Amino acid sequence: MLNTHIKRLSIQNLSRMLSFLLIFLLAGCDSDNSQSSGGAGANTNVNAQAGIWVAPAYGIAVDIRANDFTFYQFTGDYCQIYPIVDLLGIDYERLVASFNVNDDGNILQTTLAGVKVPGIMMEKQNQLPQHCIDNLETAVGDANYEFSARRDFEIFWQTYNELYAFFELEDLNWADVYDQASLDVNDDTSEEELFGIFAQMVTPLRDFHVEIINPVIGFEYTSPSRKTTIDRIALADFLSINDLEAISNEAEYLQFIAYLEEQKDSALSAVFEHVAEGEEIRFNDTQTLVWARMRENVGYLLINTMDDNELGGSESIEENLVQLASMMDQVILDLVGVKALVIDIRYNEGGDDFVSQYIAGRLTNQSFDAYRKQSRVGATRTPLQTVRIEVQGETQYTGPIAVLSSMSTSSAAEVFSLIMHEREMTLAIGEATAGGFSDQLIKILPSGMVYTLSNEIYSNMAGVEFEGFGAPVDVEIDFFTREQREGNIDMGFEEALLLLRNF
């Protein structure tokens, strides 16, 4: 499949991908490249925050000082600096403002300026891990840096060995992976060769949150997903129609992309045939939210992404949330008086949990506990954190809802599905979601290669975990089948209308 092959990236695509991935990176500044706040009085609790804080479940540490700080990433044997404040676009004041220290002064929680919800818990320590003091690794850009394939390999393997949470889903022995892959790594191994070795190592994980990006050589790789996504369905149809075994050149690839978009439009047209007479299909400026009043006085809301940048069109989380609030105000106003609402997240490949939480908060008039999450730490786990949905905005929709999901519904969109399972008067229809809930924990090797892994475990309020399996549905109905597209029908949407009619 397309996403299981190494691809060369254009500079534009690489920049866009790195911007998306690095939003989750932990920022810092070292003593040689200090990034001062330019305003030391921004943090009113700087004395409580000052010191060394460590999060073993994330392999990170931070040294907070009066006017700046340094983030580190570490494994059992290696330690590096995260010099990434400028890449995040988060200044000192905003980041430090997201630090919250408990009354005892021994636990710090940070949302990384609102990106991580409910936040990373860090414990106060007297000093950094010893190897961060004695043997800090050099990195690309340092005067004395030299590429070492063996060092990058050891850090890469150790990071997964210590933090990755889901080896058992594929019954993968990571020690065996080391024994096999290490045979191919030596002093002469190039960056291109090492990239290929890493790709082979993570392919069996079948985890689409596992990615490798080398911005120097322009390679990226994503571990294949476990389920049959819309893209895969369309690809199989495209190959069959054109009597091809695989896509072998750029022209065929572009033809497939055009076919994929055409088929998505075809599938959506089956839904939009139900728009009530005299009503319009409405959408936001970025065309990521689409809504309409359907026949039988049922509302329809298509949410194409949970990515705040894609929804709001800004690089600022705060500005995007303001835009999202305005969008939801308009949706609720336009659909006022509907007797039921269909929310379609079948095309939604995720984004940000805080977006999912906000939208859910516009669909209730009472707060509720939605799900729990924790992280792997060695052979144990961190304490459970409960995520509670708070009522959002001045107006809410509180009537019956049917949520349509598919095997392409991924990441933060799956979190939305998980949340809605805890909402009253809500049905889940379609296919169980993709099964990738964990946030991407993003790391950087000394060579500058970016890699990601899944270290967080999500569960519903009953304690059931869905990583690898996906959020379940109440009524199972296949989506995006060739028969439905050619027949201009949407069986999932039809079932939603039927069930809501008698809800």
Q: How many alpha carbons lie under 13 Å from residue 330 in its C-beta half-sphere?
A: 14
**DSSP letter (8 states) at residue 399:** S
Is pLDDT at 355 greater than 60 in this prediction? yes
Give the global pTM. 0.89
Mean pLDDT of 478-492: 97
337 within domain boundaries:
yes
Do both 315 and 212 map to the same domain?
no
Q: How many alpha carbons lie under 13 Å from residue 413 in its C-beta half-sphere?
A: 26
> In this predicted model, which residue has the larger pLDDT, 136 or 36?
136
Do both 413 and 354 map to the same domain?
yes
233 within domain boundaries:
no
Do both 122 and 167 map to the same domain?
no
**Contact predicate 164/458, CB 8 Å:** no
Is pLDDT at 477 greater than 80 in this prediction? yes
Confidence of residue 67 (pLDDT cuts 50, 70, 90): confident
Q: 110, 82, 75, 77: which is closest to 96 by C-alpha?
A: 110
Q: 172, 168, 144, 139: which is closest to 157 by C-alpha?
A: 172
241 within domain boundaries:
no
Report the run of H or E that residue 7 belongs to, with start and end: strand 7-8
Mean pLDDT of 52-79: 94
> In this predicted model, which residue has the larger pLDDT, 66 or 290?
290
376 within domain boundaries:
yes
Do both 347 and 401 map to the same domain?
yes
- Beta-strand pair 69-74/79-82: antiparallel
Over the stretch 84-134, which tens digit does the pLDDT of each residue have? 665 556 677 888 888 899 999 999 999 888 888 889 999 999 999 999 999
Euclidean distance between the first and final Cα of the chain, in Å? Answer: 41
Do both 182 and 213 map to the same domain?
yes
Structure tokens at 438: 């964990």
What is d(CA 383, CA 376) in angstroms, rounded to the nearest whole number? 10
Structure tokens at 136: 């800090």
What is d(CA 153, CA 136) in angstroms, rounded to the nearest whole number? 17
Is pLDDT at 72 greater than 80 in this prediction? yes
Do both 211 and 311 map to the same domain?
no
Do both 40 and 174 map to the same domain?
no
Do both 110 and 159 map to the same domain?
no
Structure tokens at 203: 């392919």
Structure tokens at 198: 């890493």
The three state secondary structure string of 235-265 is HHHHHHHCCCCCCCCHHHHHHHHHHHHHHHH
- Beta-strand pair 380-381/401-405: unpaired
Mean pLDDT of 400-424: 98
Do both 208 and 109 map to the same domain?
no
What is d(CA 61, CA 55) in angstroms, rounded to the nearest whole number? 6
> In this predicted model, which residue has the larger pLDDT, 221 or 8?
221
Residue 397: how many other CB atoms lie within 10 Å = 21
Is pLDDT at 356 greater than 60 in this prediction? yes
**Contact predicate 131/79, CB 8 Å:** yes
The three state secondary structure string of 35-62 is CCCCCHHHCCCHHHHCEEEEECCCCEEE
Is pLDDT at 7 greater than 80 in this prediction? no
Is pLDDT at 29 greater than 60 in this prediction? no
What is d(CA 394, CA 454) in angstroms, rounded to the nearest whole number? 36
User: What is the residue whose two structure tokens read 């010191």?
Assistant: 51
235 within domain boundaries:
no
Is pLDDT at 378 greater than 50 in this prediction? yes
SS3 49: helix
The overall average pLDDT reported for the chain is 90
Q: State the Cα torsion 220-452-226-162 to the nearest 10°.
A: 140
Over the stretch 228-241, which tens digit does the pLDDT of each residue have? 999 999 999 999 99
Do both 27 and 53 map to the same domain?
yes
Is pLDDT at 492 greater than 70 in this prediction? yes
The three state secondary structure string of 292-333 is EEEHHHEEEEEECCECHHHHHCCCCHHHHHHHHHHHHHHHHH
Mean pLDDT of 7-18: 35
Do both 330 and 292 map to the same domain?
yes
Do both 124 and 157 map to the same domain?
no
CATH number at residue 473: 3.90.226.10
> In this predicted model, which residue has the larger pLDDT, 359 or 15?
359
User: For position 46, what pLDDT does the model report?
Assistant: 67
- Split into its structural domains, the chain has a count of 3
Boundary-marking domain end, from 222, 248, 269: 222
Is pLDDT at 410 greater than 80 in this prediction? yes
Q: Whats the size of the chain, residue-wise?
A: 503
What is d(CA 337, CA 451) in angstroms, rounded to the nearest whole number? 48
**Contact predicate 172/204, CB 8 Å:** yes
What is d(CA 84, CA 263) in angstroms, rounded to the nearest whole number? 40
User: For position 13, what pLDDT does the model report?
Assistant: 36
Angstrom CA distances, 302 to 35, 166, 209, 263, 503, stand at 42, 31, 24, 17, 21
User: For position 17, what pLDDT does the model report?
Assistant: 40
> 46 lies in which domain range?
2-134
Residue 200: how many other CB atoms lie within 10 Å = 14
491 within domain boundaries:
no
User: What is the residue whose two structure tokens read 């996906």?
Assistant: 470
Mean pLDDT of 246-250: 96
% of residues, the chain, pLDDT over 90: 82
- Beta-strand pair 340-344/401-405: parallel
The residues, any chain, with a CB within 8 Å of residue 69's CB and separated by 6 or more, are 28, 29, 62, 63, 92, 95, 96
Outline where DSSP puts E strands in 76-215. Answer: 79-82, 99-101, 107-110, 120-125, 211-214
Over the stretch 271-330, which tens digit does the pLDDT of each residue have? 999 999 999 999 999 999 999 999 999 999 999 999 999 999 998 889 999 999 999 999
209 within domain boundaries:
yes
Residue 430 identity (one-letter amino acid): G
Over the stretch 136-185, which tens digit does the pLDDT of each residue have? 999 999 999 999 999 999 999 999 999 999 999 999 999 999 999 999 99
R_g over Cα of the chain: 24
User: For position 84, what pLDDT does the model report?
Assistant: 61
167 within domain boundaries:
yes
